[in-house]
Amino acid sequence: MATSSRIANISSNLFKSSQYGIGSVSCRASSWWSQVEMGPPDAILGVTEAYKKDTNSNKINLGVGAYRDDNGKPFVLPSVLKAEERLSAKKLDKEYAPIGGSAEFCKLSIDLALGDDNEISKNGLNATLQGISGTGSLRIGAAFLAKFFPGNKVVYLPTPSWGNHTPIFKHSGLDVKQYRYYDPKTCGFDFQGALQDIAKIPEKSIILFHACAHNPTGVDPKPEQWAEISKVVKQKKLFPYFDMAYQGFASGDVARDAIAVRHFVKDGHEICLTQSYAKNMGLYGERAGAFSLITGSKDDAQRTMSQLKIIVRPMYSNPPIHGARIVTEILTDPALKSQWLVDVKGMADRIISMRTQLRDNLKKEGSQTGLVLTLTKLACYCFTGMKSATG
């Protein structure tokens, strides 16, 4: 005991000694990071940071990309609350998900996008894996295309597009260019301009489409316009990449919001598709999403899936499980799925109603700005065209 006590005392004194404490450092080496410049705040999330710092009691955060209730508070869908209650009662483990995520979640996701009993899923013509919401799923696809796409390593984005699209693709090693999309004169879709630009894109290039609720304009092509776009894309041998972050959240109808994706697949296109459950299930922080590659054969699907897993392994290894379990619980239970469809339609309808009220009130006040027109668009986006100095 005496020996062990002495050892303990010696160890204690050693750790207490200033010789081993951080405070004993008299001269630090020169900084490795002195050349690093301060980066600008994120153009989207930076608005929320500015909102939090603002002391004005009448402030309103128009930058947050999340649904809010009448009191401006976060809203958890009733169907999600019920799903979480059931999951809690099951006392599930917290083991790692496979690299590709939950197979059941992946099957449910592609079927939600393409419709029940779709030929793609039934015939194994898709490589689908669970991603980290929309951003992570986009990054998986971008990394895959940068390595394996046999054509031009260039992706064409609509003008404007979600602010994160460009860095996602550029950081993955792809060049980024644009095609016309929004017409500020009409505050609508520049259909002819888009067709003209798409027709000029070099063959075997990548083109990105917002499946519904275009971010940031809220302006979507009509079904017949999507059909024309599909024809031009096929003629030019372009590869379509669909970002579908708002299925159900745009119109309140999950099938209607998937029209573009389903038409392109039916038209014979092989596509990339990313899905997110952040908006339509309110699972913002759960990071539930999926990436799919629609292929021409089952063999293609299996080989591309093997490479997608190789990309994921050093990126984040395994996707989070809780959000995927919530989605699975909702989509596998008929009653719970029906409740969710009511929930998502309720959110979409309320947004449409609020946009209408704001538009009407602006008209009453005599507003002649394009803002009045933009308020007729879809989902939670309103592209005002205002410059920062306007505010």
Mean pLDDT by 10 residues, the chain (391 residues): 58 54 63 91 79 85 76 88 97 97 98 96 98 97 98 98 96 98 92 98 98 92 98 98 95 95 98 97 96 98 98 97 98 97 90 78 70 53 60 48
Name the DSSP class of 389: G
Name the DSSP class of 24: G
Architecture of domain 79-335: 3-Layer(aba) Sandwich (3.40)
What end-to-end distance do the CA atoms of the chain give, in Å?
Answer: 75
Catalytic hit among 111, 243, 257, 343: 243
The predicted structure's pLDDT at residue 359: 74
Catalytic hit among 279, 340, 343, 377: 279
The domains of the chain are located at 79-335
The predicted structure's pLDDT at residue 5: 63
pTM of the model: 0.87
Q: Where are the beta strands (DSSP E) in the chain?
A: 126-132, 154-159, 175-180, 182-183, 188-189, 206-210, 239-244, 272-276, 288-294
In whole angstroms, what is the distance from residue 371 CA to residue 171 CA?
34
Respond yes or no: is residue 226 known to be catalytic: no
Catalytic hit among 162, 257, 340, 377: 162
CB 330 within 8 A of CB 340: yes
Respond yes or no: is residue 243 known to be catalytic: yes
